[in-house]
Amino acid sequence: MTLTHRYRFSASHRLYNPALSEWENREIYGRCSNPYGHGHDYILEVSVEGSPDAASGRIIASGDMDLLVHDGVLRVYKGKNMNLDIDTFVNGRVPTTENVAQDIRERLERGWPAEGEPFGYTARMPSLSGVRLFETAKNIFDI
């Protein structure tokens, strides 16, 4: 069984590769390479997979999942300028939503307890099965 929780956060970024000229950046990223950046109200969906616990009837305690997503992602991204405030992107990696989704998945994996182990109020930890990041209504990225 799969359970998906939805989270929202706002962050800004500039799509710009310092190895390219201003003209090349403008050609590749269009107005998203604006020197002052731009922001999005992202929607993040995190999915876990497992069997409901016999005692609680739940795959994971909501509070446990919220804690893992908050500590691993939201405290890092919420209200931040990705180019300046997030270690993954301060050294020139372009914060495209593809790269942001990948970074979010990696952060969650690093902090995710081992499958089957107890965690907080969760009797058995389910596996992290997916991350979906909505940048806009038209741009949605799945890992």
Low-confidence ranges of the chain (pLDDT < 70): none
Which residues 6+ apart lie within 8 Å of 3 measured at CB? 47, 48, 49, 59, 60, 65, 126
- CB-count exposure of residue 107 (10 Å: 0-12, 13-18, 19+): buried
Domains of the chain: 2-142 (3.30.479.10)
Rounded-to-integer distance, Cα 8 and Cα 58, Å: 23
pLDDT at position 66: 98
pLDDT of residue 60: 96
Which H or E run contains 61?
none
Copy the structure tokens of residue 65: 């999942």
Measuring CA to CA, which residue among 139, 132, 129 is closest to residue 3? 129
- What's the farthest any 2 CA atoms get from each other in the chain? 60
Give the whole-angstrom CA distance, residue 69 versus residue 9.
12
